[in-house]
């Protein structure tokens, strides 16, 4: 086979894959602008005949989707902020600070990674109930606050900080907290950016735990609200597509703007891990 033909076949395959990857989302956006009933025709329409914003108006008007979007934003931002603080401290300490029991504790954490999260959910719900955290943002955020893989990522990255740098600061009389604040944090900033995007997307997209812990409609996040809407409005295809756009567009935008950090983070983690 000639080089030109090979290259042609390769690019045909690449483009075909890209089309398959994008069709569902493309159709979602297109159908969200269709008139009611227009998406349920045969043969299927690809583009709306007369684009309309009526479904978005319904969603943000009568169905109050803005409130759920705000809930999602609060849970995602607060969850991410607390996760960054907790994992940066722990990941740095596991990598660089010498304290008794360090390596054993870390191995124990790694071992816990094979336990499916659902195993903890039933007792966790009962615990949240006892603590009065059911139907609170804090209750929804808590499981995201100390992800073990996040500690692992920070530890991998912090391992490259030269010990001499830390020891020199100690000789100068800097406290351990001061060293963390002014030396460690700037150095590990790149991995924290990656981790921030990871956590932001994961908490925004999370479904099962918010579904369990947020039974009060006023506290629902977007995925929980969308799942409920899709039961009630199963026939309103175009409305549901608009709801799906509102739910997934923010994370898509974050990803497209910051994808460099995200993709590098996954690839770096997988090679070292």
Between the CA atoms of 224, 225, 227 and 233, what dihedral angle is there, to the nearest 10 degrees?
A: 170
Taking Cα atoms as reference points, which of 50, 68, 48, 52 lies closest to residue 60?
68
Single out the segment in contact with another protein by CB under 8 A; choices: 1-9, 49-57, 63-71, 73-81. 1-9
Minimum Å distance from CB 155 to another protein? 10
Site mask for another protein (CB under 8 A), range 235-264, x = bound: --x--xx-xxx-xx--xx--xx--x--xx-
Taking Cα atoms as reference points, which of 196, 177, 173 lies closest to residue 185?
177
Q: Which of residues 164-203 bind another protein (CB under 8 A)?
A: 170, 176-177, 180, 201
163 binds another protein (CB under 8 A): yes
**Which tokens sit at 54?**
């009526």
The residue among 67 and 102 lying less far from another protein, judged by its C-beta, is 102
Site size for another protein, by CB under 8 A? 99
**Burial readout 5-18 (b: 16 or more C-beta within 10 A, e: otherwise):** eeeeeeeeeeeeee
118 binds another protein (CB under 8 A): yes
The residue among 80 and 237 lying less far from another protein, judged by its C-beta, is 237
Minimum Å distance from CB 30 to another protein? 11
Minimum Å distance from CB 127 to another protein? 6
| Gap between the Cα atoms of 97 and 112, Å rounded | 22
Site mask for another protein (CB under 8 A), range 200-239, x = bound: -x--xx-xx---x---------xxx-xx--x------x--
Q: Which of residues 121-160 bind another protein (CB under 8 A)?
A: 121-127, 129, 142-143, 145-146, 148, 151
104 binds another protein (CB under 8 A): no
Minimum Å distance from CB 253 to another protein? 10
The residue among 28 and 54 lying less far from another protein, judged by its C-beta, is 28
Q: Which of residues 45-74 bind another protein (CB under 8 A)?
A: none
| Gap between the Cα atoms of 206 and 198, Å rounded | 12
Helix axes 237-272, 3-32, angle to 10 degrees: 140
| Gap between the Cα atoms of 149 and 194, Å rounded | 12
Asked, as a colleague might, if the bond just before 43 is cis with ω within 30 of 0, I would say yes
Q: Residues 47, 117, 168, 218: which binds another protein (CB under 8 A)?
A: 117
Provide long-range contacts, Cβ within 8 A and 24+ apart, for 166-170: 166/96
Minimum Å distance from CB 244 to another protein? 4
Taking Cα atoms as reference points, which of 227, 51, 230 lies closest to residue 39?
51
């Amino acid at each position: 086979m000639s080089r030109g033909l090979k290259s042609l076949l390769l690019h045909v395959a690449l483009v075909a894959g890209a089309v398959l990857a994008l069709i569902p989302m493309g159709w979602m956006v297109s159908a969200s602008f269709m008139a009611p009933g227009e998406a349920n025709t045969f043969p299927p329409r690809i583009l709306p005949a007369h684009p309309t914003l009526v479904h978005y108006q319904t969603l943000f008007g009568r169905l109050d989707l803005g409130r759920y979007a705000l809930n999602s934003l609060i849970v995602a931002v607060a969850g991410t902020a607390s996760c960054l603080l907790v994992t940066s401290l722990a990941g740095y300490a596991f990598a660089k600070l010498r304290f008794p029991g360090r390596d054993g504790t870390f191995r124990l954490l790694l071992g816990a990674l094979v336990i499916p999260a659902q195993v903890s959910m039933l007792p966790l719900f009962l615990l949240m109930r006892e603590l009065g955290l059911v139907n609170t943002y804090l209750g929804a955020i808590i499981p995201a606050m100390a992800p073990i893989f996040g500690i692992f990522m920070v530890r991998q990255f912090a391992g490259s900080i030269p010990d001499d740098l830390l020891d020199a600061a100690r000789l100068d009389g800097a406290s351990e907290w001061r060293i963390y604040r002014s030396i460690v944090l700037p150095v590990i900033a790149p991995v924290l950016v990656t981790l921030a995007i990871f956590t932001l997307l994961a908490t925004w997209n999370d479904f099962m735990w918010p579904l369990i812990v947020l039974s009060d409609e006023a506290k629902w996040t977007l995925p929980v609200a969308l799942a409920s809407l899709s039961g009630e409005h199963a026939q309103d295809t175009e409305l549901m597509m608009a709801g799906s756009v509102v739910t997934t567009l923010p994370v898509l935008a974050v990803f497209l703007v910051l994808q460099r950090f995200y993709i590098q983070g996954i690839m770096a983690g997988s090679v070292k891990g």
